[in-house]
Structure 1
Amino acid sequence: MDLFTKSLILKEKEEKTGKLLLPGLLTGIIPEDLTTLEHLDTIIIQDSKCSKITFPSNLQKLTKLKNIHIHQTLITEIPEELFSAISITNLCLGGNKIEHISENICNLKI
């Protein structure tokens, strides 16, 4: 488990800024703890060397989550878990190596 990512989630849980910045994500796996941040409206992942990012499967619990920015990573596909997050209205994927877009992208309200 990426302890740095877990510590950033805990910090946001205390501060409640609504924005979670995950720079240099190491493992590509975002812990289930993320779904305890019910106030969260923005997630920013940037400068990661991961070729795959996995969000918690119950991401739809974050009903205030509107914005996901994934910038400058090595991902080649949009994480499937994002398609179940019905509250997302802004998905930014600049600077990635996206090769395939799932037809499930139609589930998003972007």
Structure 2
Amino acid sequence: MFAIVRTGGKQYRVAAGDKIAVEKINGEAGDTVSLGDILLAGDGGEVKDASGIAVSAEIIAQTRGEKVIVFKKRRRHNYRRRNGHRQSLTLLRIVSVG
């Protein structure tokens, strides 16, 4: 069984046993969280009603993503700015769907 969940402004297709990296969710490693916004559920090729479905996940770790370099430049104006950004992420292991 699988489900499509929305968390952190993004959508993920999850099934039991999957590992995903989502935007930061409060909690410690080992805590169990429930992903509430379920858009779609299915089993094999058929779509099921998502109203009674619950997705629970275990937090594996709190980590940060790769560094993204933001470089701004305006030609012929001697303007250059270089910034870096690392997004805070939470690694989740999907325990159950259903």
Q: Which has the higher contact order (CA 8 A, sep 6+)?
A: 2
Higher helix share: 1
Higher strand share: 2
Q: Work out which of the two has the higher radius of gyration on C-alpha atoms and give 1 or 2.
A: 2
* TM-score normalised per structure 1: 0.22
